[in-house]
Amino acid sequence: MSAPRLEVDLEKIRHNASALVSRLSGQGISVTGVTKACLGEPRFANALLGAGVKGLGDSRIENIEAMRLAGIRAPITLIRSPMPSQAGRVVAHADISFNTELDVIAALSTAARRAGRRHGVVLMVEMGDLREGIMPEDLQETARAALRFPNIDLKGIGANLACQSGVSPDAGNMSELSRLADVLDDAFGLVIRVVSGGNSSNLKWALSGEKAGRVNNLRLGEAILLGLNPLDRQPIEGLYTNAISLIAEVIEAKTKPSRPWGKIGQAAFGPMPVSGRDGSAFRTILALGRQDVDPLGLTAVPGIEVLGASSDHLMVDTGKSYVTAGSEMTFQLNYSALLRAMTSPFVTKTYSLPAGRGAFEARMTPGPRSSEELHQWH
């Protein structure tokens, strides 16, 4: 197989998703499976759907279009506010989108009316993390205005935490989100169907035994892919933490001094730490760089230390382990490293199928499909 490559075990992904769907269902919470880290790969999406997720969520309309083109008919939500310039594509291929601006909803309304479709809207509320969201005191008036747009259905409200500022979901902010759903119901005589409490960072709260209130949906990606709690990066009991691995190929392996020599300036990506160890080390270079992955998000097997990376080279100290050019090394990834590796066209993605069905390899190229192909799907 070619390298570098990501090896994705779809059965482990399905297991993780199924376990979380089961645990959260006991709290009255459904799961939206987030596909953005896998660029809308349809086999990944189907693994999530097979695990019982309520629907799919993605932040890029290009990924949603790719899934639709592959024949996926499940409900899909655009979980980043649409760009007005893409309103037509959004209403054509996403059932629901998350929104904070009335101008964007107006563009969606116009596009939906022209297409003869209806489009669902979830209003995102700012709960303190200072990423996207309508200020709570402005939510009622925003909802009032949203209800006036033709071909737009107000489906619910949502929140996002622990992404920008690290604000943790807890009983306080989740209770406030529930209260705001009650306010809208009372003000407009409608029933808010969706209260989307957040992402994988909500799991500790959701599974703590606290009452969920009106929160009835979470958007899960990182916990399913990596089996970790994003708040502390600790493994989630019963989930696989090795569903995805990165394999890289050695292109140089030599004994070199531990410290650089000569006049030291900035490296290609700014100042680099200098090893404090004297003597020599067995330094290995792999054909992998910052263009492909976040090197700070890589974890090697015990005894191997990641030293740093340039655009195209990853340097590691293999300690007493001797390797040769052409051999391969395996790394585990955090979410940052996974996102970048999935996006890189130079990293092959290999997906293993359920037991007995082998594996397949795919080169994934991000970007929109042709308008002709999308028209045929639609």
Chain centroid to CA 342: 10
- Strand 55-58 to strand 244-257: parallel, antiparallel, or no bridges (unpaired)? unpaired
> Cα-Cα-Cα-Cα dihedral of 35, 38, 42, 46, to 10°?
-60
Q: Look-up: residue for tokens 């390298």?
A: 3
Where do the DSSP E strands lie in 17-82? 30-34, 55-58, 76-78
Instruction: Tell me the β-bridge partners of 99.
Output: 123
Rounded distance between C-alpha atoms, residue 162 and residue 137, angstroms: 21
Three-state SS at 375: helix
Rounded distance between C-alpha atoms, residue 290 and residue 308, angstroms: 9
Which residues, including other chains, have CB under 8 Å from residue 270's CB and lie 6 or more apart? none
- Gap between the terminal Cα atoms of the chain: 36
Which one of the listed residues 12, 36, 155, 204 is annotated catalytic? Answer: 36
Clarify whether 36 is annotated catalytic.
yes
Q: How far are the Cα atoms of 33, 61, 103, 111, 205 from residue 97, in angstroms, in the given order?
A: 15, 10, 14, 13, 25
**Which tokens belong to 102?**
């009335």
> Cα-Cα-Cα-Cα dihedral of 164, 76, 153, 126, to 10°?
-10
Axis-axis angle for helices 42-50, 61-69 (nearest 10): 80
> Cα-Cα-Cα-Cα dihedral of 290, 239, 59, 126, to 10°?
-110
**Residues known to be catalytic:** 36
